[in-house]
């Protein structure tokens, strides 16, 4: 399988889906890093583990939808540069989350940014046009990301002193 994080191969529906899955799994890895960072606080640990689980669910849902269509050429040019940049930003955020001293405020703020950026990417990007079923799925995922962002705002009142 081609690496979904490089630009060296022509885009196919499979490589586009691989990139989308990589983004969801990197979100899960970021939230798992937050869970580890707050392991001594069971409320925060559980909160972040559940967020990671939601992101893994998104990745699995994308793969299920992928299984519903056969490999077909992508119509027109597909620009994945924005999605690749977002994936790089997620990796940087995870690396930062693995450093000592992260605070609940910082983690919740970064997670709100992740969910907002993900909603924006899912909601307007053109690289999911490779199959109509994906367009519907990603519209729904954009709505979920916005709801996650709103939950994160509420969580600040509970978890931030």
CATH code of the domain in which 47 resides: 1.20.1260
In order of 5, 22, 61, 98, 100, the CA distances from 19 in angstroms are: 7, 5, 14, 23, 29
With respect to residue 64, please indicate whether it lies within any of the assigned structural domains: yes
Distance CA 32, CA 91 (A): 13
Segment 51-74 shows an average pLDDT of: 79
- The confidence score (pLDDT) of residue 69 equals 66
With respect to residue 4, please indicate whether it lies within any of the assigned structural domains: no
> Above 80 in pLDDT, residue 70?
no
With respect to residue 17, please indicate whether it lies within any of the assigned structural domains: yes
Least confident of 35-44, 83-92, 127-136, 151-160: 127-136
Better-scored residue on pLDDT, 100 or 132:
100
With respect to residue 6, please indicate whether it lies within any of the assigned structural domains: no
pLDDT grade, residue 124 (50/70/90)?
low
With respect to residue 22, please indicate whether it lies within any of the assigned structural domains: yes
Better-scored residue on pLDDT, 104 or 71:
104
With respect to residue 41, please indicate whether it lies within any of the assigned structural domains: yes
The share of the chain scoring above pLDDT 70, in percent, equals 78
Q: Which of 137, 136, 145 is nearest to 113 (CA)?
A: 145
**13: phi then psi, degrees, rounded to nearest 5:** -55, -35
- The confidence score (pLDDT) of residue 148 equals 81
* Number of domains the chain contains: 1
Using an 8 Å Cβ cutoff, are 97 and 34 in contact?
yes
> Above 90 in pLDDT, residue 66?
no
Q: Which of 131, 124, 123, 21 is nearest to 75 (CA)?
A: 131
- The confidence score (pLDDT) of residue 71 equals 57
Q: Round to the nearest angstrom and report the end-to-end CA distance of the chain.
A: 46
pLDDT grade, residue 23 (50/70/90)?
very high
Domain encompassing residue 84: 13-71+78-159
Helix (H/G/I), strand (E/B), else coil: 155: helix
Better-scored residue on pLDDT, 143 or 87:
87
With respect to residue 110, please indicate whether it lies within any of the assigned structural domains: yes
Distance CA 129, CA 146 (A): 21
Least confident of 27-31, 50-54, 104-108, 148-152: 148-152
With respect to residue 66, please indicate whether it lies within any of the assigned structural domains: yes
């Amino acid at each position: 399988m081609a690496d979904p994080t490089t630009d060296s191969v022509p885009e196919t529906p499979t490589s586009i889906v691989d990139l989308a899955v990589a983004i969801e799994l990197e979100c899960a890895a970021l939230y798992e890093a937050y869970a580890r960072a707050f392991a001594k606080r069971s409320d925060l640990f559980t909160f972040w583990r559940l967020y990671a689980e939601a992101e893994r669910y998104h990745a699995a849902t994308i793969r299920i939808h992928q299984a519903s269509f056969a490999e077909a050429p992508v119509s027109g040019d597909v620009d994945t540069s924005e999605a690749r940049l977002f994936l790089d930003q997620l990796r940087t955020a995870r690396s930062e989350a693995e450093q000592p001293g992260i605070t609940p405020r910082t983690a919740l703020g970064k997670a709100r940014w992740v969910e907002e950026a993900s909603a924006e990417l899912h909601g307007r990007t053109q690289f999911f046009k490779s199959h109509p079923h994906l367009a519907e799925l990603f519209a729904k995922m954009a709505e979920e990301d916005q709801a996650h962002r709103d939950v994160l705002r509420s969580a600040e009142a509970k978890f931030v002193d």
